[in-house]
Structure 1
Amino acid sequence: MKNMGDGRRVARVEKEIQATIAQFLIRGFKTPLPGLVTVASVRMPADLRAAKVYISVLGSDEQKEEAIELLQDRAFEIQNYIGKELKMRYCPKLTFFADHATDQVLKVERILHELAEERKASGTSEDEDTDGDADSDEN
């Protein structure tokens, strides 16, 4: 069985592909993308022939879908740019996906902030209750 590669090499190539795509979006992408688009991550198998590109879009759901569609339609141009910038035996075939991890992180942070606000609002009454309970237990 053939050794399919080193995990460190795959991680390094993923990082380079991510940076190159981001560079293309800044410099070479002619069509303006809706919302604020970020290349969140890139995942590749050990053979480095395909790449799942996860895109984070700050904006509405419609803007997210539109940005993903635009990028997928222009994937060939991005692949050509990667082929010119990076010296690789094979240029990976790109597939774009929405990054939901960022949305989940923001949702968790919002929930934690709401809980902190609730604790702060009810914190003064709880402190008084615990002090009162402690005094009554001692008597």
Structure 2
Amino acid sequence: MKNMGDGRRVARVEKEIQATIAQFLIRGFKTPLPGLVTVASVRMPADLRAAKVYVSILGSDKQQEETIELLQERAFEIQNFIGKELKMRYCPKLTFFPDHTTEQVLKVERILQDLETERKQKNPSAEAGDTEADHSESDDE
């Protein structure tokens, strides 16, 4: 039973850390970050002494690298902010990583959109009633 409670606690702390870092990025950063930055997720071990912070960065590869470097340079400052905002026994050591989930989702959506466009170009008459056409073809078989 204790492990389940620990899992919920870790998940809750991860969410709080995520929100606090996002708050710091909005209010605490004096210089603008290159690219559009979102704190995608935070992963922590059960002892809560370290945090892997995954950030989604909309921008070029160079902007993404610069942003990760800048965040890592300012990690101590962000940790201090977390320590003041959240009353935790230990403030976790932060390590920043790029989150490629958004990029992958956009890539898949682009591929699906291209396939749909290609399908419509091959069979323009099927656009309006393509579901009926699909059913009648399968009925013939």
Within the alignment, does 1:84 sit opposite 2:68 as a pair?
no
Letter in 2 for 1:73: E
1:106 deviates by: 0.9
Letter in 2 for 1:50: A
**Mapped contact 1:5–1:46 kept (Cα < 8 A):** no
Tell me the TM-score normalized by structure 1.
Answer: 0.86
1:29 deviates by: 0.9
**Mapped contact 1:40–1:99 kept (Cα < 8 A):** yes
Q: C-alpha distance in 1, partners of 2:92/2:5? A: 15
3-state DSSP of counterpart to 1:26: helix
1:30–1:117 CA distance, 2 compared to 1 (3 A): same
Other-structure match for 1:102: 102
Tell me the TM-score normalized by structure 2.
Answer: 0.84
Which structure: larger Rg?
1
- Summarize deviations over 1:55-112 as a string: whole Å, max 9, x none: 1111100000000000000000000000000011110000000001111111111111
3-state DSSP of counterpart to 2:124: helix
Following superposition of structure 1 onto structure 2, how do residues 38-117 of structure 1 map, counting pairs within 5 Å? 38-117=38-117
Q: Structure 1 unaligned runs (5+)?
A: none
Letter in 1 for 2:20: T
Q: Structure 2 unaligned runs (5+)?
A: none
Report the identity percentage: 84
Alignment: residue pair count: 131
**Segment drifting more, 63-72 vs 111-120:** 111-120
Within the alignment, does 1:22 sit opposite 2:22 as a pair?
yes
**Mapped contact 1:51–1:92 kept (Cα < 8 A):** yes
Letter in 1 for 2:88: M
Q: C-alpha distance in 2, partners of 1:84/1:123? A: 62
Q: C-alpha distance in 2, partners of 1:5/1:68? A: 33
**Mapped contact 1:4–1:46 kept (Cα < 8 A):** no
